[in-house]
Structure 1
Amino acid sequence: MRRTKLLWRWRSNPLRRPSDILEARIILMAVLLLLAGGLTAGIATGRAAGDTLREQRQSRMATTAVLVDDAPDRSADAAYRTGDDKVSVTVRWQDRNGSARVGTTRVEPDRPAGTKITVWVDEHGRLTARPPGPVTSVIEAALVATVAAIGWSSLVLCVVYGMHLRLEHRRAQQWEREWAAIDPRWGPRRT
């Protein structure tokens, strides 16, 4: 019974409308697009994200910097808090060419000037965030791939649902036209 209900649009039936056949073909196409497109979108996006994260790990390097000023305590930097316990401070470091560079980074509060810290720089010697580790990169790439696959699937399902609503509207209009043509033949109504 259940199998018959699922495949009723494919059966040869005199009551089957052309819109039923069209809807069955749309559903079949949607299933193929969901499987192939969702998988392709997920894999392609996951690989691109993985490549970007791998490039970040390779292009960023740790270097030693020195605090130029004393790091303020937490209350002095309360207006600029980012949710962590660190404060902004000016640091100096040397880039790959040996040139002195100065920038601002976040460190633990109450550190005196001259304290050595580790900072991350890009290939141009600019301060940057620490690159994600290999495990974090895999997790982030997998999450991006999952979101891409879900996004593609949602798009396909929304289009199919819109087509279904349009076909239902057409079938209702067709039913009303046919009913209006047949109803007068049955004679006057008794109330």
Structure 2
Amino acid sequence: MRAISGLWRWRHNPLRRATDLAEAWLAVAALLAVLVAAPVAGAVVGGLAQDALQESVRQQRSSRHLVTATVLAELGRAPLDADPEAAAGREPRTRVQADWTAPDGTARSGAVTAALDAPRPGDRFALWTDRQGRPAARPLDSATATTHAVLAGFGAALVSIGLVETVRRLIVWHMVRRRYARLEQAWIRVGPDWGRAGTGC
């Protein structure tokens, strides 16, 4: 709104310079660009991210399987959470030696991370595996994918606003430099006669 009020103020002002009016029109153009570019960029990037992430959700759901594993021995606390996006990420995580049956029916065993506080031999827990029965991360869920897509859209909108404002500021900076250069040239032309009696009369 300041840009529009500034444009109105400069319309018939006798002190108005051409660059003042140009700056006001530039501010209006930047405002319109932000109002158009930010929502469009956000919607496009968010939509593309949503499509890609939902496709990833479908692929992960089809390629990962939930099986039941049995604890053979505890190996100690897991140093890092293997699945930070899952709700189970806030649960205790312990490294255990376990065995399980792969989706193809073959027996598997190995060291895996279990959501168990004090695992004992014989305890059972859910384990995500790939088609070959190797331990895999929990598949991305649809709600998390949508959240990431929305964040990507907001990020794109903010970046577009920043780009428009950066371009506006660069143009204004260039205009101000040209204005000062013209002022300096005018001063050089009249400077030698400044203050002399009878000059310019």
Q: 1:98 to 1:70 in 2, by over 3 A?
A: same
Instruction: List per-residue Cα deviations over 1:100-135 (Å, max 9, x = no partner).
Output: 455633422321234322233456755433345444
> Structure 2: how far apart are the matches of 1:124 and 1:31?
55
Partner of 1:33: 33
Asked if 2 retains the 8 angstrom alpha-carbon contact of 1:122 and 1:128, the reply is: yes
1:155 equivalent among 160, 163, 175: 163
Q: Which residue of 2 aligns with 1:118?
A: 126
Counterparts of residues 156-175 of structure 1 (less than 5 Å): 156-175=164-183
Q: How many residues align?
A: 183
Q: Does 1:5 align with 2:13?
A: no
| 1:172 partner amino acid | Y
- Give the secondary-structure state (helix, strand or coil) at the position aligned to 2:73: coil
Partner of 1:69: 72
Q: Which residue number corresponds to residue 53 of structure 1?
A: 53
C-alpha distance in 2 between matches for 1:155 and 1:34: 9
Which runs of 5 or more residues in structure 2 are unaligned? 82-88
Counterpart mapping for 1:72-91 below 5 A: 72=75, 76-77=76-77, 80-82=79-81, 84=90, 85-91=92-98
Measured against aligned partners, the alpha-carbon deviations of 1:168-189 in whole angstroms (never above 9, x if no partner) come to 1221222122122223333349
For the 8 Å contact 2:114–2:125, the answer to whether it is kept is: no
What are the superposed Cα offsets for residues 34-61 of structure 1, whole Å, 9 maximum, x if unpaired? 2332112211221233223323432324
- Distance (Å, rounded) in 2 between the aligned partners of 1:123 and 1:21: 67
2:86 corresponding residue in structure 1: none
Q: What TM-score does the superposition give when structure 2 sets the normalisation length?
A: 0.68
